[in-house]
Amino acid sequence: MSYQKPKGTQDILPQEVEKWQYFEQTAREWCRRFNYKEIRVPIFENTDLFIRGVGETTDVVSKEMYTFEDKGKRSMTLRPEGTAGVVRSFVENKLYAEPDVTKLYYTGPMFRYEQPQAGRYRQFHQFGIEAFGSVDPTIDAEAIALGYYIITDLGIRDVTIELNSVGNAESRAAYKEKLKTYLQPMKEGLCKDCQSRFEKNPMRILDCKIDGDKFHDAPSILDSLDEACLSHFTAVQDALMAMDIPFKVNPNMVRGLDYYTLTAFEYTCEGIGAIHTIGGGGRYNGLVGDIGGPDKPGIGFGLGMERIMLMMDIQEVALPNKNPLDIYFIGLGEQADKEVTRLLYKARNAGLRVDKDYMQRKMKAQMKAADRNQARYAAILGEDELLQGNIMLKNLSTGEQEIVPIASLIEHVKRT
């Protein structure tokens, strides 16, 4: 019987993993510069956490969650997004007691039951950040800038930041009434999901994947912002301009999760189909309290790793030079091969990346293997060289060969 991977999942093979590692290394380095620290939380949580945190009217909760009952008859859900679990950990572990802003980042798999398409999987991966404890609009701009730096440092071009404010509860209440008045004449022609959202959460209609292109002339939420919300939004824009971070205001842009307040943003890039968002986030000032913690504000974003990988492929982004092998050892004869085994051990402990042939192939085939592994050097040891205490070192880029004492081989390679 043969087995295949489940629909909507993927095998990330060794030749692709290097791209993922490059993404993660780049993101971790930028988080280090911004003083964000890593957190790791469970892949599954109590289902109620996502219902309360993400929002009962969202597609994520109503349609897409992988929910199961464990042996204790508890309802558990594979995490569909990263923020709720990080907020739960922030509350449970009392990280809010720290005197400074808490800056965290995470990476890992998420799970949503939806139709797979380009850059979208049922098991997908996110890199995200969350910052707790400040209402300062400059930290909103910092979060937006951090995501932008990560994406562009990967080599992706033509990235657009779309920025909006979804206001506070009072602003949204006023806006929802205006929006319902605007949508009422077209309600019967909307998809079933949008019709059900009309009363519960009409703002989510603007995010509809089916009817979203019908609402270009919808009223702008920016016209419903109160003075405090408008002042915050203006300050975010001022901070982004001070950092030379390009953005455009999109008053009809709403995020797909219910917990957002004030700042909302997306990173977009053309080329991966009708949905060209590769990441996004926003502020969630009430979420910590909703999950049982103190009234601590927060802001964060998530980057879709598969979508960013796809964009790198589309734009033919070249990765930096891979780590080649330092030495590929070739032992010719039983005693020489034993010495090679000893040298492998010493070289690896000295920090070199080395390998040898394990297939008992002839020298020509072993040299081809050294080329395939992009080795800098081939170290060839025969029985005669072994008796003399020497080894032949060949530079595979230049073809130059030299005889080196076995005892000084490792230091010689490290010097060069």
Q: 130: phi > 0 → left, psi -120 to 50 → alpha, else beta; which?
A: beta
Asked whether residue 382 falls in the same domain as residue 239, the answer is no
Asked whether residue 69 falls in the same domain as residue 27, the answer is yes
pLDDT tens-place values along the chain, 416 residues long: 889 999 999 999 988 999 999 999 999 999 999 999 999 999 999 999 998 878 776 778 878 899 999 999 999 999 999 999 999 999 999 999 989 999 999 999 999 998 888 778 999 999 999 999 999 999 999 999 999 999 999 999 999 999 999 999 888 888 888 888 888 888 787 887 777 777 777 887 777 767 666 777 888 889 889 999 999 999 999 999 999 999 999 988 876 566 789 999 999 998 776 668 899 999 999 899 999 999 999 999 999 999 999 999 999 998 886 668 999 999 999 999 999 999 999 999 999 999 999 998 999 999 999 999 999 999 999 999 999 999 999 999 999 999 999 999 999 999 98
Instruction: Give me 35's structure tokens.
Output: 């003083």
For residue 249, the domain's CATH number is 3.30.930.10
Amino acid at 96: Y
Identify the domain boundary among 314, 344, 369.
Answer: 314
Identify the domain boundary among 293, 314, 335.
Answer: 314
Taking a C-beta distance cutoff of 8 angstroms, is the pair 49, 76 a contact? no
Task: Specify burial of residue 271 (Cβ count, 10 A radius: 0-12, 13-18, 19+).
Answer: middle
Asked whether residue 146 falls in the same domain as residue 278, the answer is yes
Distance CA 203, CA 272 (A): 25
Task: Look at residue 244 and tell me if it is in a domain.
Answer: yes
Asked whether residue 155 falls in the same domain as residue 262, the answer is yes
Task: Look at residue 199 and tell me if it is in a domain.
Answer: no
Taking CA 217 as the corner, what is the angle to CA 163 and CA 165, rounded to the nearest 5 degrees? 25
Asked whether residue 250 falls in the same domain as residue 359, the answer is no
Task: Look at residue 130 and tell me if it is in a domain.
Answer: yes
How far from 247 is each of 175, 201, 221, 253, CA to CA, in Å? Answer: 24, 27, 18, 13
Length of the chain: 416
Asked whether residue 18 falls in the same domain as residue 79, the answer is yes
Look at residue 249 in the predicted model and tell me its pLDDT.
96
Asked whether residue 290 falls in the same domain as residue 362, the answer is no
Asked whether residue 338 falls in the same domain as residue 300, the answer is no
φ/ψ of residue 107, rounded to 5: -150, 150
Task: Look at residue 208 and tell me if it is in a domain.
Answer: no
Taking a C-beta distance cutoff of 8 angstroms, is the pair 116, 8 a contact? yes
Rounded to 10 deg, the angle between the 137-153 and 14-33 helix axes is: 150
Place of tokens 């590929």: 328
Amino acid at 153: D
Asked whether residue 119 falls in the same domain as residue 21, the answer is yes
Task: Look at residue 210 and tell me if it is in a domain.
Answer: no
Asked whether residue 333 falls in the same domain as residue 255, the answer is no
Look at residue 59 in the predicted model and tell me its pLDDT.
72
* Residue 35 CA to its chain's centroid (Å): 18
Asked whether residue 356 falls in the same domain as residue 289, the answer is no
Taking a C-beta distance cutoff of 8 angstroms, is the pair 279, 264 a contact? no
| E strands present in 180-310 | 248-249, 261-268, 277-283, 298-304
Q: What is the largest CA-CA distance in the chain?
A: 93
| Residues whose CB falls within 8 Å of the CB of residue 404, separated by 6 or more in sequence, listed in order | 390, 391, 392, 393, 412
Look at residue 198 in the predicted model and tell me its pLDDT.
77
Look at residue 348 in the predicted model and tell me its pLDDT.
97
Amino acid at 374: Q
Task: Look at residue 195 and tell me if it is in a domain.
Answer: no
Asked whether residue 240 falls in the same domain as residue 101, the answer is yes
Task: Look at residue 5 and tell me if it is in a domain.
Answer: no
Task: Look at residue 179 and tell me if it is in a domain.
Answer: no
Identify the domain boundary among 314, 348, 372.
Answer: 314
How many structural domains does the chain have? 2
Look at residue 211 in the predicted model and tell me its pLDDT.
65
Look at residue 112 in the predicted model and tell me its pLDDT.
94
For residue 351, the domain's CATH number is 3.40.50.800
| Residues whose CB falls within 8 Å of the CB of residue 99, separated by 6 or more in sequence, listed in order | none
Amino acid at 225: L
Distance CA 372, CA 14 (A): 14
Look at residue 191 in the predicted model and tell me its pLDDT.
84
How far from 209 is each of 121, 214, 347, CA to CA, in Å? Answer: 16, 11, 56
Residue range(s) defining the domain that contains residue 333:
327-411
Counting Cα atoms < 13 Å in the Cβ hemisphere of 282 gives: 26
SS3 content of the chain, % helix, strand, coil (to 5): 45, 20, 35
